[in-house]
A = this chain, B = another copy of it.
Amino acid sequence: MKALLQSLTLFLVFFFPLVAFAISPLPSWNDGTSKQDIINFVTAVTDKSSSDYVDPRERIAVFDNDGTLWSEQPAYFQLYFAMDRVKAMATDHPEWKNQQPFKAVLDGDMKALAASGKKGLIELVMTTHAGMSTDEFTAIVLDWLQTAKHPTLNKPYTELVFKPMLELLNYLRANDFKTFIVSGGGIEFMRPWVEGVYGIPPEQVVGSSIVTKFEIRDGKPVLVREAKLNFIDDNVGKPVGINLHIGRRPIFAFGNSDGDLQMLQWTTLAGEGKRFAGIVHHTDREREFAYDKDSHMGRLDKALIEAVKHGWTVVDMKKEWNVIYP
């Protein structure tokens, strides 16, 4: 009897954590459709006796970043970075006081900034993201993240990541998935911090980019960032970026907006084999933000219609996540 008790104790000490994990791998997700969809999918593709089994090498999972892994309201965080850079650089540019879109940024006038349109935004990005080496840009991004805070939530940006999605990334990796970011955001803006925050290494980040140029400066090679667009990794660009960087069609994709539609289509509809597509629906005005088809940032309209049509998993943030931020 004593031996039996000892065995039982040993069993509990050593195996209970594993059993608990096996029962509930996604603690921030309430029991419901989305959590069950995810677990069913992962169970099916990792079960060697299942006809849906997928070789670990093919277990590619792709995630949008803005609005999927971290917040994106009231504006994309990279836009706040650009605006903070304008403020930091303004002493060297007295002319910006009377020159749009810089004047709008310095005046904190978001309406005037929006009025400068796509042309104004591109000028803002080029001025703040180009003209330095890749190493210098990395240092600028990391330096900014140390001190910058979200304008309304008043927290460091890297704390505004979604805890349920961090758990999902870990759950997938624990099941031998390789997790990638496929974002419309700047590839070099994300790489300096995503490994620490999401556990996703730089070589598994796909994003928009500007042209870089190899030069030897004082005998030392550098890559210089030029004020010229290279690639827009959004909408129809996402499958192109996935193909260029990954070269395999994902089996699992998560997004939150119409900019992710083609990635979700490419993942689920382009060929054979079991696939998962998920959409984060921002329904939580209290804890985060509530927006979809009428939003300028992260508009979710067509992709929601397609989700219903194809039976994709739509996460009702308010109902299905018991916590938002870590």
Q: Indicate whether A240 sits within 8 Å of B221 (C-beta atoms), given known contacts A135-B271, A203-B246, A271-B135.
A: no
- Does A240 contact B214, Cβ atoms closer than 8 Å? yes
0/1 per residue, A38-70, Cβ < 8 Å to B?
A: 000000000000000000010010000000000
In angstroms, how far is the closest chain B Cβ from the Cβ of A180? 8
**Which residues of chain B come closer than 8 Å to A60, judged between CB atoms?**
203
- A residues 196-237 touching B (CB-CB < 8 Å): 201-205, 209, 212-214, 216, 219-223, 230, 236-237
Q: How far is the CB of A196 from chain B (nearest CB, A)?
A: 11
Q: Complex formed: what's the CA distance from A205 to B265 in Å?
A: 24
Interface assignment of A79: CB less than 8 Å from any CB of chain B: no
Q: Total interface residues on A, using CB and 8 Å?
A: 41
Within 8 A of B (CB), among A141-178: 178
Residues of chain B lying within 8 A (CB to CB) of residue A243 = 134, 212, 223
Q: Contact residues of A with B, CB < 8 Å?
A: 57, 60, 134-135, 178, 187-188, 191, 195, 201-205, 209, 212-214, 216, 219-223, 230, 236-237, 239-240, 243-248, 262, 265-266, 269-271
- CB of B209 within 8 A of CB of A221, answer no
Minimum CB distance partner of A223 in chain B? B243
Q: A212-B240, A213-B240 are in contact. List 14 more A-B contacts (CB 8 A).
A: A57-B195, A134-B243, A135-B271, A201-B248, A203-B204, A203-B245, A203-B247, A203-B248, A205-B247, A212-B243, A216-B265, A221-B266, A221-B270, A230-B244
Smallest CB–CB gap between A79 and chain B, Å?
Answer: 22
A270 to B178, CA, bound (A): 30
Which of B178, B203, B262 touches A214 (beta carbons < 8 Å)?
A: B262
* B214 x A244 contact (CB < 8 A): no
- Interface-central residue, A188, A203, A247, by most chain B CB under 10 Å: A247
Q: Which B residue's beta carbon lies closest to that of A236? A: B214
Contact assessment for A247 and B187 in the assembled complex, using a CB-CB cutoff below 8 Å: yes
Known contacts A135-B271, A203-B178; A223/B240 CB under 8 A: yes
Cβ B135 vs Cβ A220 within 8 A: no
Which B residue sits closest to A203, measured CB to CB? B246
